[in-house]
Chain A
Amino acid sequence: MRTQVIVADDEPHLRAHLVQLLQTLWPEHGPGELNLVGEPGDGAQALRLITERRPAIAFLDIRMPGLTGLEVARKVAMQSGHQPLLVFVTAYDDHAVEAFEAAAVDYLLKPVNQERLSQCLRRIAERLDTKTPAASDADPRLAALLDRLDGLELTGPRPPLRWLRSGQGEETELVSTDEVVYFQAGQKYVSAFTRDREHVLRLTIKELTQQLDPEQFWQVHRGLIVNVSQIVRARRDLRGRYVLTVRDRTETLRTSLAYAHLFRSM
């Protein structure tokens, strides 16, 4: 019996090393005869090879360009058809590594050592013994698990805006929203004021309110959005509006009556 295997890693030396170790250890510990059908260098290639060549076993590096090893595994699990046994390979004991174990036959830490790889091959042989390769169809549980692990950002709500593009002449500067003390709408543009500068943005105030993190940024006036963590003091004036003092800026900001309730409940 020939066992089809792919080894995916973007670092050629590491990939070659794993392949070489597999060739050495397979005859003694692995199931059947090793038949290496692909050595992809990125996630997209790995996915294509798994779909086309239908290997029994895939060794997947986790950090790969294009698609990560986890993304490849998730896509494979979601596509009906062929489900190879997965072995994740990673350089560092990531926080999620124990969870990978549930979704994969095994995971290996780089640099891979012989003893550990032998153990991994014996485990694979056992699994192939109890389960014929043909029966190993896409496993919905695996898909769900990988989804939980990795797909949170992809399937969840859109993450709030974290970088702003500010145009000055030909250059586009990137400004982190964390740095912004407040946004103010002018005649034509919206300005973001940081500790020491004003950045002119190519966004409307409405677009901003839709995209910013509502926990961190409060609209306090039709044309004014303030970073809550930068408010030093809120003082109510006689007409019931609030006057805000903000960190690192000398000017004060005035809320309008319509938004005063934000501060009354503080």
Chain B
Amino acid sequence: MTGELNKMAAETETDVRAGAGGLLANLLRTTGFCLIVALVLVAIGVSSFVSALIVSLCIGYGITGVFHLLATPLEQRLGPLSPVLLIPIGVLTGLAVAGTIRSGDPLALIYASPGTLIMCLALGVIGYQVVGNRMRLLNSRVRIAELERSQAQQRQQLADTRLKLLQAQIEPHFLFNTLGNVQSLIATDPERAARMLEQFTALLRHSLARTRDAETSLAEEAELLRAYLEIQAERTGGRLSYTIDIPAELATATLPPLLLQPLVENAVTHGLEPQPGEGLIKVSAQRAEERLLLSVADNGAGLDDTAEQPRGTGTALRNIRARLSERYGDQATLRLLENSPQGLRAELSLPLVFVQGSS
């Protein structure tokens, strides 16, 4: 994340330099424009070439310079009105400089020809069109860079929040409903209550012990999922059933912790819980050469754009993708597919690595 911020800061700097390059290009463009103006003035017999060129160059540079130096601070105070002030300042500065060059008196030209002044103002308006566009473009680039930076900060905060959520892991509805179930069962079926509490304890222990960096084995992950799904099956009075199919040879395959559980949780809370009737969750692992393929499928509600449920699904998926790319780069993928005849299927593909000391 810091790397990304640095990169962004560097990009902003490049933009500022591009701004300086923009000034040079502007000066060149102004020079060309002034040359044409001088030639036109000579052609219509208003003035000699040299004096026309000096005057028009001074005015052109004056406007460009004034815009470059004052546009940003003035625009902040005056907004769109700023060119009205900037153009006369540029023209007057240019005329004063030209007057000084020609006769040593900065005010000579300004007094001499009010007609020139008006013409210069008109030229200034045309020149503004060119310069102003440049300025606006520069501004929009700086604004995009700013937007980027604030987005990056937001992403960082989001990542922190998610990490905390991940560590906490146990969703409050699940927690209290499970406790409620245990409480209900104590009087009527103490054995069941005890079993449920056992599973819940196992789940808590696993979840809380886990850190972001630790690796886990597929067998261990399957135990966790079994505890979770057992509790869910009990809670729903058998409305929910599940299968976990992991070949023995993949028991010692490694994977990051809390990768499968959010997918299973999604399948239960967004796929099966909102839907009346029975639901089935299938968790399976497969080997494809040097890759580990994991799948979590449900026959639940699927994604309905009008419903509230996709929100949670989206967050969990983003979360998992972010962690996958952090750990595996481009080597891991997560896809969400429509399951037939109904429901969703999440498919994970990871490089196959076994726990050290086994094959």
Interface residues of A (CB under 8 A from B): 10-14, 16-17, 20, 42, 44, 63, 65-66, 91-92, 109-112, 153, 158-159, 161-163, 165, 171-176, 178, 196, 229, 231-236, 263-264, 266
CB-based contact A12/B237 at 8 Å: yes
CB-based contact B305/A163 at 8 Å: yes
Number of A-B contacts (CB under 8 A): 116
B100 at the interface (CB under 8 A from A): no
CB-based contact B181/A13 at 8 Å: yes
B297 to chain A, nearest CB (A): 13
CB-based contact A173/B173 at 8 Å: no
CB-based contact A153/B176 at 8 Å: no
Indicate which residue in A65, A92, A112 contacts B273 across the interface (CB closer than 8 Å): A65
A and B contact pairs by CB, cutoff 8 A, 8 listed:
A11-B181, A13-B184, A20-B188, A65-B276, A91-B173, A196-B330, A232-B144, A235-B137
A11-B237, A161-B305 known; A17 vs B180 contact (CB < 8 Å) = yes
A50 to chain B, nearest CB (A): 17
B190 at the interface (CB under 8 A from A): no
Q: A14-B184, A234-B141, A266-B144 are in contact. List 6 more A-B contacts (CB 8 A).
A: A17-B184, A91-B172, A91-B176, A91-B180, A92-B176, A111-B176
CB-based contact B303/A174 at 8 Å: yes
A75–B319 Cα distance when bound, in Å, is 37
CB-based contact B273/A231 at 8 Å: no
A221–B133 Cα distance when bound, in Å, is 21
CB-based contact B176/A266 at 8 Å: no
CB-based contact A263/B338 at 8 Å: no
Within 8 A of A (CB), among B169-184: 172-173, 175-177, 179-181, 183-184
B183's nearest neighbour on chain A, judged by CB, is: A111
A200 to chain B, nearest CB (A): 14
B335 at the interface (CB under 8 A from A): yes
A13-B184, A16-B184, A176-B317 known; A233 vs B141 contact (CB < 8 Å) = yes
CB-based contact A16/B188 at 8 Å: yes
Chain B 90-127, CB-CB to A under 8 Å as 1, else 0, gives 00000000000000000000000000000000000000
B245 at the interface (CB under 8 A from A): no
Q: Which 5 A/B pairs are nearest by Cβ-Cβ distance? A: A17-B184, A111-B180, A12-B237, A91-B176, A266-B140
Which of B133, B183, B184, B187: most chain A CB closer than 10 A?
B184
Residues of A within 8 A of B330 (CB): 196
A62 to chain B, nearest CB (A): 10
Overall SS of chain B's interface:
helix
A169 to chain B, nearest CB (A): 11
Residues of B within 8 A of A229 (CB): 151
Residues of B within 8 A of A112 (CB): 180
CB-based contact A10/B236 at 8 Å: yes
A172–B275 Cα distance when bound, in Å, is 22
B334 to chain A, nearest CB (A): 11
Residues of B within 8 A of A92 (CB): 172-173, 175-176
A11-B177, A172-B337, A176-B317 known; A263 vs B236 contact (CB < 8 Å) = no
CB-based contact A162/B181 at 8 Å: no
Residues of B within 8 A of A231 (CB): 144
A92-B173, A232-B11 known; A178 vs B184 contact (CB < 8 Å) = no
A154's nearest neighbour on chain B, judged by CB, is: B306
Chain B 317-333, CB-CB to A under 8 Å as 1, else 0, gives 11000000000001000
B167 to chain A, nearest CB (A): 19
A54–B184 Cα distance when bound, in Å, is 28
A171–B155 Cα distance when bound, in Å, is 32
A42's nearest neighbour on chain B, judged by CB, is: B276
Indicate which residue in A91, A163, A232 contacts B177 across the interface (CB closer than 8 Å): A91
B338's nearest neighbour on chain A, judged by CB, is: A172
CB-based contact B140/A234 at 8 Å: yes
B302's nearest neighbour on chain A, judged by CB, is: A174
Residues of A within 8 A of B21 (CB): none
A233–B181 Cα distance when bound, in Å, is 55
Indicate which residue in B11, B179, B277, B338 contacts A174 across the interface (CB closer than 8 Å): B338
A67–B336 Cα distance when bound, in Å, is 26
Indicate which residue in A110, A158, A171, A233 contacts B176 across the interface (CB closer than 8 Å): A110
Indicate which residue in B143, B172, B179, B236 contacts A111 across the interface (CB closer than 8 Å): B179
CB-based contact A14/B180 at 8 Å: yes
CB-based contact B318/A178 at 8 Å: yes
A159–B304 Cα distance when bound, in Å, is 11
Residues of A within 8 A of B239 (CB): 10
B314 at the interface (CB under 8 A from A): yes
CB-based contact B176/A176 at 8 Å: no
B171's nearest neighbour on chain A, judged by CB, is: A92
Residues of A within 8 A of B141 (CB): 233-235
CB-based contact B140/A14 at 8 Å: no
Indicate which residue in B136, B151, B181, B336 contacts A264 across the interface (CB closer than 8 Å): B136
A110's nearest neighbour on chain B, judged by CB, is: B180
CB-based contact B172/A171 at 8 Å: no
Indicate which residue in A13, A91, A171 contacts B237 across the interface (CB closer than 8 Å): A13
B247 at the interface (CB under 8 A from A): no
CB-based contact B308/A153 at 8 Å: yes
Residues of A within 8 A of B140 (CB): 234, 263-264, 266
A157 to chain B, nearest CB (A): 11
Indicate which residue in B176, B234, B237, B338 contacts A165 across the interface (CB closer than 8 Å): B338
B310 at the interface (CB under 8 A from A): yes
B274 at the interface (CB under 8 A from A): yes
